[in-house]
Structure 1
Amino acid sequence: MGQKGAETRDRLLDATQELVETGGYFGAGLNQVIAVSGAPRGSLYFHFPGGKDQLVGESVRRAGRAIGDALEGLADSSPSVAEFVEGVLRHLGDRLEGSGWRKGCPVATVALEMAATSDPLQEACSEVYTSWERALRARLDGHPDADDLSVTILALVEGALLLARAHRSREPLSRVARQITALLR
């Protein structure tokens, strides 16, 4: 694929990610994706012959990698697990608040709306969550309950993001950070 094709594909994915994060799967109609991306309709079907589920699935994976990269950066710069988790919550809180409380988790809405009815989207969501669990587990290396703790921490973070978005407040993120710190003692 040439540079122009790659740029068009990226614009389609950027538009899809923006629409899905702010309005969910059903808020990201193909006509909206085309309008937001400025890409020709034919490009959508050229780059994503599997249609909307392929487009949204790739968008979820892409957003998941971006969050995963942030997790890795925070893991490298945090001296303790508690500081790592606090950094993750701060990063996600900054992202959420900076979007006007519209962008929580880039995976959760799709998982809630589509995981029961679309195998490709369920797989995309599962892959992303598994990669985040793996990143958390790696940071918990040596802890006797690393497997269970990585899932618990991820669930607490996801719940805190949902509550923070609903309340338009960072307070749930702060509370969860304190409880995770206590849990890790």
Structure 2
Amino acid sequence: MANKSDSREKILQTASRLFQLQGYHATGLNQIIKESGSPKGSLYHYFPNGKEELAIEAVKYTSIYIETKLQGFMDEVPDPIEAIQAFIHETANQFNNPQNIEGIPVGLLASETALISEPLRMVCVESFKKWETILAKKLIQNGVQNEQAIKVGMLLNSMIEGGILLSLANKDKTHLLTIAETIPLLLTKKG
């Protein structure tokens, strides 16, 4: 028998994946319950305020997953260009089997809910900011000035989010791979 935290975790995993792949409006609570294998009462026990609360927690769950993965690459790979490319390649590899995508950033959910749910919008903004900060810190550690690193972190995150949306739309990872390939052009000083 699964313990309570396992049930909550399974609901969050399922909701996160479905919100990322289908969006907020196309994902129903009944589908989350069915695919997670959880009893209906569990969903309402853990998320008594319903779908919006579940979506907020799913974004936080996804954000932590991505932060951990992104920080891992930044810690393990000394060169910032190679570290960022490795993270993008890892993300792109998930498009080999899109039905099993995990931890794709939250751009789809953000674009769909930004004008209708201030709490959801804010949790997405917080997630984006955390990822941008991780990227900026890696650049700062490698000699890029703070202000410039913050701007480049924002640019890189925007490119990755855009690449993910285009890869989802095309059912092809080419956009992400192209972004990874062009990172040296963006981060290499000339002259």
Q: Secondary structure at the match of 1:140?
A: helix
- 1:47 Cα deviation after fit: 0.7
The correspondence for 1:174, drawn from 143, 163, 177, is 177
User: How many aligned positions are there?
Assistant: 183
Contact preservation (8 Å) 1:101, 1:168: no
- 1:106 Cα deviation after fit: 3.6
Aligned residue in 2 for 1:184: 187
- 1:156 paired with 2:155, answer no
Amino acid at match of 2:166: L
TM-score, normalisation: structure 1: 0.91
Question: Structure 1 residues 170 and 38 mapped into 2: Cα distance closer, same or farther (>3 Å)?
Answer: closer
- 1:102 Cα deviation after fit: 6.4
Q: Secondary structure at the match of 1:26?
A: coil
- 1:165 paired with 2:168, answer yes
State the distance in 1 between where 2:39 and 2:99 align: 30
- 1:165 Cα deviation after fit: 2.3
- Once the two structures are superposed, the pairs formed by residues 20-169 of structure 1 within 5 Å of their partners are 20-99=19-98, 105-141=104-140, 142-144=143-145, 145-169=148-172
Contact preservation (8 Å) 2:132, 2:157: yes
State the distance in 2 between where 1:29 and 1:131 align: 28
Q: What is the CA deviation profile of residues 100-125 of structure 1, one whole-angstrom value per residue up to 9, with x for unaligned ones?
A: 59678341111011011101111111
Q: Which moved more, 1:153-162 or 1:99-108?
A: 99-108
Question: Structure 1 residues 104 and 173 mapped into 2: Cα distance closer, same or farther (>3 Å)?
Answer: farther
Contact preservation (8 Å) 1:9, 1:47: yes
Amino acid at match of 1:11: K
Question: Structure 1 residues 18 and 174 mapped into 2: Cα distance closer, same or farther (>3 Å)?
Answer: closer
What 5-or-longer segments of structure 2 have no aligned partner? none
TM-score, normalisation: structure 2: 0.88
- 1:161 Cα deviation after fit: 1.6
What 5-or-longer segments of structure 1 have no aligned partner? none
Aligned residue in 1 for 2:8: 9
- 1:152 Cα deviation after fit: 0.6
Amino acid at match of 2:14: A
State the distance in 2 between where 1:159 and 1:169 align: 13
RMSD: 1.9
